């Protein structure tokens, strides 16, 4: 199923890596992942989240704050019983590993453009094929997956359609307009409304929304480190002023978590 990011030829296992018929070879890192992001496909030296951002997200998620979100994602994925699935934009692998637990018989793939994220992610579920790769040039064959997971991640819709087999679908998890509303009110004088259905306008021909639901709950942020980590793992960590960020970290508060799940099928 893996394809060469340089020539799109099929990749086969060789020694401690993979190679295509044209002779392009990619060695497996000691942590177990494959780096299929050629330098000419990078927009910067180390694209994606840096080590500090990845560590903040790891601490926050491992603290169990978003555990209900991951559990519901895994339930929805398991209900689809895919033979092969891919997590696009897997980050440090928290959600990916929980999906993998519910799909023990399926072939699982996970990719992110951040090498720092994938280095940590591959320890969570070693049996998956972990990849450093571009979401715009996914190194998997056409119609190779029955399920794609996209969690708080940008998405190339044309790539999603290419990767999905007929009848397969994209399981998208993203914020609703109430998500972290109290945090945003603390950080900004004016809180912009969020159009939680805007992404539906981007669905390409040949795909359609088949199911949608929202999961919401209140989260008590009593721990200073958790508040700092939540800021660091969201865009608000660099958009808001230093004074507002410091005020958020200084005092406990309650915040709304409100996440939308969409199942978008390839027709």
Q: What is the DSSP pairing of strand 207-221 with strand 253-266?
A: antiparallel
In a domain, 5, yes or no: no
- Please list the pLDDT of the chain residue by residue as tens digits (267 residues): 899 999 999 999 999 999 999 999 999 999 999 999 987 555 545 555 778 888 999 999 999 999 999 999 999 999 999 999 999 999 999 999 999 999 999 999 999 999 999 999 999 999 999 999 999 999 999 999 999 999 999 899 999 999 999 999 999 999 999 999 999 999 999 998 888 888 999 999 999 999 999 999 999 999 999 999 999 988 887 888 999 999 999 999 999 999 999 999 999
Q: The domain spanning residue 257 has which CATH number?
A: 3.40.50.150
In a domain, 213, yes or no: yes
In a domain, 7, yes or no: no
Cβ contacts of 27 within 8 Å, gap of 6 or more: 16, 17
Question: How many separate domains does the chain show?
Answer: 1
In a domain, 174, yes or no: yes
Tokens of 153: 């991640």
Q: What is the DSSP pairing of strand 107-112 with strand 12-14?
A: unpaired
Tokens of 25: 């070879």
In a domain, 88, yes or no: yes
Query: What is the span of the domain harbouring residue 159?
Result: 12-266
In a domain, 49, yes or no: yes
Tokens of 251: 């005092």
Distance between CA 143 and CA 166 in Å, rounded? 7
Phi, psi (deg, nearest 5) at residue 258: -145, 110
pTM of the predicted model as reported, rounded to 2 decimal places? 0.94
In a domain, 38, yes or no: yes
In a domain, 1, yes or no: no
């Amino acid at each position: 199923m893996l394809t060469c990011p340089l020539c799109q030829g099929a990749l086969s296992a060789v020694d401690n890596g993979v190679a295509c018929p044209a002779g392009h070879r990619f060695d497996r890192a000691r942590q177990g992942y494959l780096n299929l992001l050629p330098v000419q496909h990078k927009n910067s030296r180390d694209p994606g989240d840096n080590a500090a951002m990845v560590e903040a997200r790891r601490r926050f998620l491992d603290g169990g704050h978003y555990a209900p979100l991951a559990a519901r994602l895994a339930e929805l994925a398991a209900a689809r019983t895919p033979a092969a699935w891919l997590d696009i934009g897997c980050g440090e692998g928290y959600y990916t590993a929980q999906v993998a637990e519910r799909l023990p018989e399926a072939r699982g793939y996970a990719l992110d453009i951040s090498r720092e994220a994938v280095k940590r992610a591959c320890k969570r579920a070693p049996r998956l094929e972990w990849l450093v790769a571009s979401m715009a040039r996914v190194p998997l064959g056409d119609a190779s997956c029955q399920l794609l997971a996209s969690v708080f991640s940008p998405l190339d819709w044309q790539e999603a359609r290419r990767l999905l087999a007929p009848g397969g679908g994209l399981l998208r998890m993203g914020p609703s307009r109430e998500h972290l509303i109290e945090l945003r009110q603390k950080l900004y004088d004016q809180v912009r409304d969020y159009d939680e259905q805007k992404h539906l306008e981007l669905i390409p021909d040949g795909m359609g929304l088949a199911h949608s639901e929202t999961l919401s709950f209140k989260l008590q942020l009593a721990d200073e480190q958790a508040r700092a980590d939540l800021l660091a793992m969201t865009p608000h960590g660099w958009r808001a002023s230093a004074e507002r960020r410091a005020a958020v970290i200084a005092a406990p508060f309650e915040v709304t978590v409100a996440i939308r799940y969409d199942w978008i099928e390839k027709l």
